[in-house]
Amino acid sequence: MTNRLTIPRPDDWHVHLRDGAVMAGVLAHTARQFARAIVMPNLSPPISTVAAAEAYRARIVAAVPPGAEFTPLMVCYLTDGIDPDELQRGKEAGVFTAAKLYPAHATTGSAHGVTDVRNIYPALERMQAVGLPLLVHGEVTDPAVDIFDREAVFIDRVMIDLIKDFPALKVVFEHITTAEAADFVLAAGANVAATITPQHLQINRNAMFDGGIRPHAYCLPVAKREAHRLRLRAVATSGGAKFFLGTDSAPHAVSAKEAACGCAGLFNAPFALETYLEVFDEEGALDRFEAFASRNGPAFYGLPVNTELVTLERAQTAVPHVIDANGTLIVPYRAGEVLGWRLSA
Ligand code: DOR
Ligand code: ZN
């Protein structure tokens, strides 16, 4: 039995760090686990200019705990009116690593998102030309579509044309939750990849209704049926280059989650590697964790693999019931449970 695993320090290819005091609190957890992270731009107001991304990056860098090494990779939030020149400037200045498509009103902080993907075709044209990857929240917002079908319908209504119209654009289908999305990504070219969260590998939609309504199992896209979870586990643990780690850690205060209308998002950053590793262990795929966590993401983004190594060992790790993120109380994913792995200090 393998009891220790040493791999290049992983990166998180999708995280919400927020801003202000809470940012410093949650950042410490991400910086403990990861060398770099793709930082989501869905702040209020959103990060849609080079200047805003530079300022946000500086606030993050200033909040990295002493002794930790962490590089935030910034993302431009695409709006209907986004200027292609701004995207190119941000890419050339080394500020934008990617740009994010939120369909308007699909999720938290998406009110300024894109109302029709055709509106950003000039931007996508430029991104394709300059090599700036597109990150996609892949859910339709049509209220007539069942919430559990919104990702699959997005493939038919948006994704198929998008990759046909921009055959050289790098596209990351973010936080995929369905077999349809996994199979779409597999069938597409090498320019199309996906991130997968720990929760979508570990829970199905029953978790939201286990003995009562469970706000801490609610995120967007929502967890789907068991068959989808099993398909995601198969592709994530396959070692295939198209799938890589992206936690979608999305912290919200306890009070915002435990409410009549609770916010979407799970705070999984504190024990992300330990939880992912449980999945690879259960699937007999420990030898493929390095590809998913440390190699596939950098390869897709054209960045070097981190040279520092980290070790994970088999050990009981208790997840606290609540974490104080610099004054904001947040319930972490798997709160109160004991995990089977530990990231060595
Ligand atoms: O559950 C989610 N929370 N999904 C998202 O797409 C956004 C995120 C957030 O920012 O809270
Ligand atoms: Zn997200």
317 DSSP β-pair partners: 339
**Would you state the pLDDT for residue 88?**
98
Contact present, 201 and 289 (Cβ < 8 Å)? no
CATH number, domain containing residue 253:
3.20.20.140
Q: CB–CB of 277/38 below 8 Å?
A: no
Q: Which two tokens stand for residue 113?
A: 């998102």
Do the beta carbons of residue 45 and residue 76 sit within 8 Å? no
| Residues within a 6 A CB radius of ligand 1 | 16, 42, 107-109, 137, 219-220, 250, 264-265
Strands 338-343 and 309-318: antiparallel
Q: Could you list the pLDDT tens digit for every one of the 345 residues in the chain?
A: 899 999 999 999 999 999 999 999 999 999 999 999 999 999 999 999 999 999 999 999 999 999 999 999 999 999 999 999 999 999 999 999 999 999 999 888 899 999 999 999 999 999 999 999 999 999 999 999 999 999 999 999 999 999 999 999 999 999 999 999 999 999 999 999 999 999 999 999 999 999 999 999 999 999 999 999 999 999 999 999 999 999 999 999 999 999 999 999 999 999 999 999 999 999 999 999 999 999 999 999 999 999 999 999 999 999 999 999 999 999 999 999 999 999 997
CB 174 within 8 A of CB 14: yes
From the list 160, 279, 282, the residue with the least C-alpha distance to 293 is: 279
Give the atom of ligand 1 at the shortest distance from the alpha carbon of 263. 11
Look at the block and give the residue holding tokens 């949650």: 26
| 248 is a catalytic site residue | yes
- Cα(90) to ligand 2 centroid in Å equals 21
Strand 243-245 with 309-318, pairing: unpaired
In the reported structure, the alpha carbon of residue 197 is separated from the centroid of ligand 2 by a whole-number distance in angstroms of: 10
Which residue's CA is minimally distant from atom 3 of ligand 1? Answer: 265
Q: Which amino acid is at 162?
A: L
Write out the E strands in the chain.
4-8, 12-15, 36-39, 71-77, 96-101, 134-136, 171-173, 192-196, 243-245, 309-318, 323-325, 328-330, 338-343
- Nearest atom, ligand 1, residue 264 CA: 1
Domain hosting residue 239, numbered range: 4-343
CA distances from 198 to 28, 39, 52, 80, 96 (A): 19, 17, 30, 31, 26
Taking the centre of ligand 2 as the mean of its atom positions, its distance from the CA of residue 337, in whole angstroms, is 24
Beta bridge partners, 96, equal: 74
Q: Which ligand is nearest to the CA of 200?
A: 1
| Atom of ligand 1 at shortest range from CA of 109 | 10
pLDDT 10s digits, 175-200: 999 999 999 999 999 999 999 999 99
Ligand nearest to the backbone CA of 330: 1
Helix (H, G, I), strand (E, B) or coil at 301: helix
Pocket test for ligand 1, best of 17, 100, 105, 108 (most atoms within 8 A of CB): 108
pLDDT of res. 109: 87
Q: Which residues contact 216 (CB under 8 A, 6 or more apart)?
A: 257, 266, 331, 333, 335
How far, in Å, CA of 296 to CA of 302, rounded?
10
What distances in angstroms separate CA 297 from CA 7, 198, 223, 289, one per listed residue?
14, 16, 23, 12
- Name residues whose C-beta falls within 8 Å of residue 148's C-beta, 6 or more positions apart in sequence: 205, 222, 224, 225
Ligand 2 centroid to 46 CA: how many Å?
A: 13
User: Among 322, 336, 203, 198, which residue's Cα sits nearest to residue 254?
Assistant: 322
Residue whose Cα lies nearest atom 4 of ligand 1: it is 220
The pTM (predicted TM-score) of the whole model is 0.98
Q: Which of 161, 248, 287, 324 is catalytic?
A: 248
**The two structure tokens encoding residue 28:** 């410490």
| Tally of domains in the chain | 1
Q: What is the pLDDT of residue 345?
A: 74
CA distances from 8 to 75, 131, 206 (A): 24, 26, 35
pLDDT of residue 153: 98
